[in-house]
Structure 1
Amino acid sequence: MPKPTNKLTAAALRAAKYEGRPHKIADGGGLYLHVTASGKYWRMKYRADGREKLLSFGVYPRVSLAEARQARDEAKARLARGEDPQEAKRASRETRADTFRVLAEDWMERKRSELAEDTLRLTRSRLETWVFPEIGQRPVREIEPPDVLRLLRVPESRGKHETARRLRQRIGQIFRYAIATGRADRDPTTDLKGALASTPTKHRAAITTPNEVADLPRAIDHYDGQPSTWAALRMLALTFVRSGELRGATWDEIDLDEGTWRIPDARMKMRQPHIVPLSEQACECLRWLHALTGPDGLVFKGLRPGKPISENTLLASLRNLGYASSEMTPHGFRATASTLLHELGWPPEVIELQLAHAQRSQVAAAYNRSARLLERREMMQAWADHLDTLREGDQDNVVPIRSA
């Protein structure tokens, strides 16, 4: 194969300008620079199967002269072997599009409107840590059940049973998406049923006795860290929402005059809007914080501009208050409230509605987002009053808080 005569120089490329209409500057061997109003593009003209065809090599200067020439020479070599470089490029692109990593990225992008941001972030972290290094670059049609089991055994062997279980679930979802889009024939995770060790039951740490609960609001009162962190701890105790729902709160969701916080579906675990009635104590806390972080944007602002306080910040604040991870976590406020409210006689269905647990159907979920709101408002005020009673240590006056 004769070597092409190279005509272009780096200086000529830099000097090339759009002159009111597109024009071409030839290099050699069919390679040329196409200069247009939007940029300078590398192209190669060649003939195959009796027809003139065109290859694209990218945009100058992102693709250098040397790189464009290398791509031209590789295309020439394919032509000499009787191959069509355009078809080879298309096949390569299709192969890359069918790798597990590309499909996983596509699946996560499509799930962005369905899954909470924290859930997506955790899913990506797990995939990048445990899955992509093993099967990320492999075509999905070549991945077999033993390949998936092998990578799941790694976190399982380190005691991360829940991580292994979640990974199997996500990998299966990605494969089912690949099947639906015609890029895979089967889901190898279906053959792994019973192959992983059962996840040991592990409850979130929480304090659930009145005496223990009495100490918590006292400790929060004496927290001397960042104002947003203090307010977040206080609001977790008063509202018992999930920590991610709290940390992402914005002022436009909260109506202090009405005493209502409306959390949009995008930030709820069950992807349904949720109403949180605010007690007088919660409104007082938020009015105090409003002077610091309002009137718009994030309610619980972190130290980094535009970012809320982190989960680690809440965990560290509880540690600073003297609560070990085996005693109390941000999520533990939910178990604390649920346990005491049941013991104090509130209807289980009202408690479950306020905890925003899964409903049996989407219709029920849509209806229940505002169901029994008056009862929930009464319960939330009574809960805040009950916390005050416990904090003040008047144990003789602790009585069931459900009104007659």
Structure 2
Amino acid sequence: MIVTVCSHPSPAARFVGIFVGLGRTDVRGDFRFSERKDRADGPQERRRARKPEADQERRRLPRRPTQIQWGEWSPAKISDVTGGGLYLFVTADVSRPGHAASKLWRMSYRFHGRQKTYSIGPYGNGSDGSFSLADARREREKAKDQLKEGKDPSTEKQLDKHRKAAVRSFGQWADEWLAKKKVEKVKRGRIVAVRDPKTIEVLELRVGYVKGRFGKLCRQDIKRPDVLAFMRSYEADGKLETRDRVRSIGEQICDYADVEGDGYNPFRNLNGQMIANISTPRPGVTEPRDV
């Protein structure tokens, strides 16, 4: 321990102090801090001199394998051994390491000099819209046939999806056809006007007949034998005139629903399988006494 008593004039004030174990004065009587031997030279002193932020960061590091945060898993491509550009695109599930989030069949191809990808569908056992390996290979062969015809498989798939979305039932087409007839103008001699309300009422009645039998089916699902059986039910009741009117309305509705122009109409050309309806001529009333 060093005890120093000094008196030193200062520009600001005169003071007398006792410093115990803090320092010593030089020859001129000026006080300075003494150089201590316990500087941070050893390993223990260096550990004490570390910043507290580094210690906190070190304590936050995981100590167990279960605490380790895995990095992001990259998708993988599993190519088919038969080639042809077919492969299974597997996307990993980040929340469950080692598990796949999705498995999709895809096909690489070139169309007009450009590299493109054709999405076939999800991997599965072939049910619920999934595709097994055999199903994916069949879809690949279909896509190759389309490429040979100069068609883009991806574009054709989108067009087919739009066609299926635009498919409507026979009943929906019948309602639209009837609504058109209600506002459509017809010419009777020199008069052009909409149809009479009584005519519309009769149309609604006959449209209801054919709609009640085939309303839930699509036009392509209506088969000719089913239409013949429906027509013969009117023949059994002796309603040949009603049969012909209902058949004519069904034919018109099918023509109206044929937006693609495929010409399919199961109500057409049935006269060879039905009983001929020969009407008896009735002379018109010309004399007032016959009224």
Q: TM-score range with shorter-chain normalisation?
A: 0.3 to 0.5
RCO higher in 1 or 2 (8 Å CA, sep ≥ 6)? 1
Length-normalised TM-score, structure 2: 0.37
Bigger proportion of residues as helix: 1
Which entry has the higher C-alpha Rg, 1 or 2?
2
Bigger proportion of residues as strand: 2
Length-normalised TM-score, structure 1: 0.27
